[in-house]
């Protein structure tokens, strides 16, 4: 069908979640839906017939139809990617090397969703809910689609994270997904007005920003054996008071609404809660210093914290994402791009959450001041060129000798800042797990170099392979073994839900997210 010659089209999408309200018709950039639900970065890949536009090119879908779910997933995925590229100030390549991310709105029955680098796709499930008297299509939730797209975005920015067995790193992956959902929600003026109406401007009160994946969560909680959570209209709640303990010390369970668990989705709630608190601080700054009305201050909070989080991720170590390191990165980013206006508030949030210890921020500032005096004279055009630069200056940077460097990421933002990520692998025996005796795995070290607009080194991170990092990897492997998530073939959720696989005498982490929401 011939598309009309127009820059915009009308589409049916859910404002935030089916539990919050029905799909509404809105006008969007035509390039967002593209042709045949495929644009230059995102395409619907579904076993069911694709939605077709009307004679004017609009996608106003019948409520409850497959097309409604497909159009919603296409638009929200593209909006999330565009949001993060705006916050980063540069394009974000997908971690699987293809230009197009596949989006599968009707993968199979279940109440789950996932991202897989190996298939280059996000996948969403569906299931009848007798208690809700309807079929729940997970892809209809803006929160869930933004979350899974967040995984794909983070994998493009930091591909080393999904190669690790480190539980905290995978918890940060889940947290980044939930932060993506909250930031995307705050892009919508109608939602922001609703949040203010719900709370009277007090973000400590329950609200649809803090409550993530309402319909999906409601269906899951009505379907489980625990009657105590049936009243909860969310899957996860960013309004929490969790404080830091290592995930290994919390066991393998999920805890509950007041208890943190060591399972990655449960543990992620700690960082999500901290980020929500930072959003609240930015919201108050918007009203106090910018004299913004409350609903506009919510958007200001997103547009302040989103770039800080993008910068913190970009300049973090390439191999692992630890909560403290990302938090310290937020403070450095605030100092560099926001005149340090939120630094004390962010520090207090992370101290109260026990993610920071006293002295962590001052030590980070001293480290930053004492960076090696290095510079570049041009923008690197290839990974090989970047590796050559790193090798040339490895002694000045105190990097290990004799390792094989791999260029992981390269980016230049709209200001001209250049960030390069590198990985190196060390083969080690799997230790402390009798069932995997005689098996080896690769543990990665990571380096990040960032150069400012004057092409001077403004950040250097080296996360080495140490006894501590080796133990964290072994702890992560042991958890997967206890849960039966390590197989001897196949990959990802298309098999028996393996998250790691032994091939020959080598164990590797499959670069997928855990679909057990």
How many residues in total does the chain contain? 517
Cβ-count burial 64-80 (b if 16+ within 10 Å, e if not): eebbbbbbbbbbbbbbb
What's the pLDDT tens digit per position in 8-25?
Answer: 999 999 989 999 999 999
Identify the burial level of 160 via C-beta atoms within 10 angstroms of its C-beta, where 0-12 means exposed, 13-18 middle and 19 or more buried: buried
Instruction: Please work out, in degrees rounded to the nearest 5, the angle formed at the alpha carbon of residue 416 by the alpha carbons of 410 and 420.
Output: 20
- What is the DSSP code string of 377-443? SS---SHHHHHHHHHHTHHHHTPPSS---EEEEEEE-TT--EEEEEEEEEEEE--S-GGGTT-EEEE
What's the pLDDT tens digit per position in 443-459?
Answer: 999 999 999 999 999 99
Question: What span, in angstroms and rounded, lies between the C-alpha atoms of 486 and 258?
Answer: 30
What's the pLDDT tens digit per position in 363-406?
Answer: 999 999 999 999 999 999 999 999 999 999 999 999 999 999 99
CATH topology of domain 383-482: Nuclear Transport Factor 2; Chain: A, (3.10.450)
What's the pLDDT tens digit per position in 87-113?
Answer: 999 999 999 999 999 999 999 999 999
Number of Cβ within a 10 Å radius of residue 119 = 18
| pLDDT: which is higher, 2 or 335 | 335
**Partners of residue 459 on adjacent β-strands:** 450
Residue 138 has what DSSP assignment? G
Cα torsion 89, 90, 95, 99 to 10°: value is 130
Looking at residue 496, its pLDDT comes to 59
Q: Is residue 361 predicted with pLDDT exceeding 60?
A: yes
Q: How confident is the model at residue 2 (pLDDT cuts 50, 70, 90)?
A: very low
HSE toward the beta carbon, residue 300, CA cutoff 13 A = 20
> What is the arithmetic mean of pLDDT over 61-83?
98
Question: What span, in angstroms and rounded, lies between the C-alpha atoms of 124 and 103?
Answer: 8
Of the candidates 515, 516, 486, 491, the residue with the CA atom closest to the CA atom of residue 502: 486
Average pLDDT score over the chain:
95
Question: What span, in angstroms and rounded, lies between the C-alpha atoms of 492 and 114?
Answer: 10
Contact 324, 356 (CB under 8 A): yes
Q: Which residues contact 54 (CB under 8 A, 6 or more apart)?
A: 60
Looking at residue 497, its pLDDT comes to 84
> What is the arithmetic mean of pLDDT over 287-293?
98
How far lies 507's CA from each of 164, 356, 404, 501, in Å? 11, 33, 20, 6
> What is the arithmetic mean of pLDDT over 267-289?
98
Domain locations in the chain as residue ranges: 8-157, 163-204+239-369, 383-482
Q: Is residue 5 predicted with pLDDT exceeding 80?
A: no
Q: Which residues contact 330 (CB under 8 A, 6 or more apart)?
A: 278, 305, 308, 309, 312, 346
**Token representation of residue 450:** 């960032």
> What is the arithmetic mean of pLDDT over 241-268?
97
Identify the burial level of 29 via C-beta atoms within 10 angstroms of its C-beta, where 0-12 means exposed, 13-18 middle and 19 or more buried: middle
What's the pLDDT tens digit per position in 183-227?
Answer: 999 999 999 999 999 999 999 999 999 999 999 999 999 999 888
Give a three-class secondary structure readout of 441-506.
EEEEEEEEEEECCCCEEEEEEEECCCHHHHHHHHHHHHHHHHCCCEECCCCHHHCCCCCEEEECCE
Q: So what's the architecture of 8-157 in CATH? A: Roll (3.10)
Q: How far is CA 252 from the centre of its chain?
A: 21
Identify the burial level of 222 via C-beta atoms within 10 angstroms of its C-beta, where 0-12 means exposed, 13-18 middle and 19 or more buried: middle
Of the candidates 135, 122, 171, 144, the residue with the CA atom closest to the CA atom of residue 63: 135
Q: How confident is the model at residue 489 (pLDDT cuts 50, 70, 90)?
A: low
> What is the arithmetic mean of pLDDT over 143-157?
98
Question: What span, in angstroms and rounded, lies between the C-alpha atoms of 284 and 462?
Answer: 35
CATH topology of domain 163-204+239-369: Neutral Protease; domain 2 (1.10.390)
Match 């922001």 to its residue by tokens. Answer: 192
């Amino acid at each position: 069908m011939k598309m009309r010659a127009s820059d915009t089209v009308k589409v049916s999408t859910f404002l935030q979640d089916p539990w919050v309200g029905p799909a509404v018709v809105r006008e969007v950039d035509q390039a967002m839906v593209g042709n045949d639900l495929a644009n230059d970065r995102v395409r619907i890949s579904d076993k069911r017939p694709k939605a077709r536009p009307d004679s004017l090119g609009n996608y106003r879908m019948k409520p409850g139809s497959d097309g409604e779910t497909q159009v919603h997933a296409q638009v929200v995925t593209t909006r999330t990617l565009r949001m993060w590229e705006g916050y980063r100030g540069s394009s974000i390549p997908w971690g699987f090397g293809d230009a197009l991310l596949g989006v599968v709105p009707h993968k199979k029955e279940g109440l789950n969703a996932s991202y897989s680098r190996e298939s280059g796709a996000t996948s969403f499930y569906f299931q009848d809910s007798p208690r809700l008297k309807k079929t729940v299509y997970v892809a209809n939730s803006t929160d869930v689609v933004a979350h899974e797209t967040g995984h794909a975005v983070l994998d493009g920015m930091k591909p080393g994270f999904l190669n690790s067995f480190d539980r905290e790193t995978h918890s940060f992956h889940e947290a980044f997904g939930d932060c993506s959902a909250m930031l995307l929600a705050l892009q919508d003026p109608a939602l922001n007005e609703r949040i203010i109406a719900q709370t009277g401007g007090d973000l400590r009160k329950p609200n649809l920003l803090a409550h993530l994946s309402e319909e999906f969560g409601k269906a899951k909680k009505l379907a489980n054996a625990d009657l105590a959570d049936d009243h909860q209209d969310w899957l996860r709640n960013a309004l929490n008071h969790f404080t830091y303990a290592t995930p290994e010390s919390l066991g393998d369970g999920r805890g509950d609404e007041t208890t943190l668990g060591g399972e990655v989705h449960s543990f992620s709630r700690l960082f999500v809660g901290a980020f929500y608190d930072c959003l609240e601080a930015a919201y108050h700054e918007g009203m106090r210093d910018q004299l913004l009305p409350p609903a506009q201050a919510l958007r200001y909070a997103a547009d302040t914290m989103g770039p800080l989080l993008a910068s913190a991720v970009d300049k973090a170590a390439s191999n692992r994402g630890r909560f403290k390191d990302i938090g310290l990165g937020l403070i450095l980013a605030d100092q560099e791009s926001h005149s340090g206006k939120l630094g004390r508030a962010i520090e207090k949030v992370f101290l109260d959450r026990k993610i920071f210890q006293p002295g962590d921020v001052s030590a980070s500032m001293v480290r930053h001041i004492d960076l090696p005096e290095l510079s570049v004279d041009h923008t690197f055009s290839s990974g090989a060129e970047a590796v050559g630069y790193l090798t040339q200056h490895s002694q000045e940077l105190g990097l290990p000798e004799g390792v094989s460097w791999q260029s992981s990421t390269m980016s230049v933002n709209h200001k001209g800042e250049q960030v390069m990520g590198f990985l190196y692998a060390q083969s080690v025996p799997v230790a402390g797990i009798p069932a995997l005796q005689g098996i080896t795995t690769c543990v990665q070290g990571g380096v990040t170099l960032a150069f400012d607009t004057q092409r001077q080194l403004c950040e250097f991170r080296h996360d080495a392979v140490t006894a501590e990092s080796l133990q964290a990897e072994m702890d992560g492997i042991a958890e997967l073994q206890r849960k039966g998530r390590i197989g001897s073939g196949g990959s990802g959720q298309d098999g028996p839900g393996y998250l790691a696989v032994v091939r020959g005498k080598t164990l590797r982490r499959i670069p997928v997210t855990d679909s057990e929401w």
